[in-house]
Amino acid sequence: MDSHNPRGDGRRVALITGSAKGLGRMAALTLAERGYDIAVNYKSSAIEAQQLVEAIGVFGVRALSVQADITEADQLQRMVGEVRRALGRIDVLINNAGPFVRERRLFADYSLEEINYYTRANLIGVMELDLLVLPLMRSNQWGRIIHFGFGHAAESRGWPHRAVYAAAKVGLVSFTKTLAVEEAANGITVNMICPGDIRGENKEKAIGDVEQMIDEESPKGRPGTGEDIARVIAFLCEERSDFITGNIMDVSGGLDPIRTLAYDQRTI
């Protein structure tokens, strides 16, 4: 029996940060339906995480919930250890967690503590978690790492009132491309998904739930959903998606959040 896979059945294990709710929850359910064992990470949503674990059980795969704050390096180490002891391995890492401040704020209005927190949550913590998981993936010569960004992040344009978040995510773009090149020979792909402005309950909805809804801000004409994002994640995690790496993928229905914001400012 493979020492990294107690069941010996070759089943892949996916660790998804911030997956008790929202886009992470949809990703967890989608991968579980495709036969992945799932590690649900949460910071404070313990009840929702346990409910998700129970929902995943319907698919006949293993699941556990693990509490950890992605801004704390020691908690990341503990989380990886817990997942490996319980599920034997980590093949897929989806770095979904990463706080976004929706209110418009000038950079000058941030505190030093807030700058440090949002940078750690959206960039440094992601890098630290990748570093912890890479040896497990290298040992199996297979892995999938997925980062989250924002629409048009690869263009490194300025985003007024989103300075700290945007800077962290743009830094993550460069890191995504670099890590993809460095780890390609080890069978590990690294990509970034940039969701559109998917809000509230839509994060946990299927495409069929919103097909008849109108979103006047979206060029597509309908709101985005969690399924839109989860479908791309599932595709990137497939065995034969190994030639797709180092990519920054907008999944936004054509929405450009930066230009939308600029337009709003001119009309205020």
Identify whether 6 is part of a domain.
no
Identify whether 129 is part of a domain.
yes
Identify whether 4 is part of a domain.
no
Please, what is the Cα angle at 249 between 192 and 155, to 5 degrees? 90
Residue 31 structural domain: 13-267
Among residues 14, 20, 86, the alpha carbon closest in space to that of 51 is found at 20
**Would you put residue 61 in left (φ > 0), alpha (ψ -120 to 50) or beta?**
beta
Share of the chain above pLDDT 70, in %: 92
CA–CA gap between residue 198 and residue 121 (Å, rounded): 20
CA–CA gap between residue 77 and residue 136 (Å, rounded): 13
Identify whether 8 is part of a domain.
no
Residue 140 · residue 89 · CB < 8 Å: yes
Q: Grade residue 10 by pLDDT with cuts at 50, 70 and 90.
A: low
CA–CA gap between residue 150 and residue 153 (Å, rounded): 5
HSE (CB half, 13 Å, CA atoms) of 3?
A: 2
Identify whether 7 is part of a domain.
no
The enclosing H or E element of 37 equals strand 37-42
Identify whether 1 is part of a domain.
no
| pTM (2 d.p.) | 0.91
206: domain CATH number?
Answer: 3.40.50.720
pLDDT in tens, 91-101: 999 999 998 88
pLDDT in tens, 215-255: 778 878 888 898 999 999 999 999 999 999 999 999 988 88
Number of domains in the chain: 1
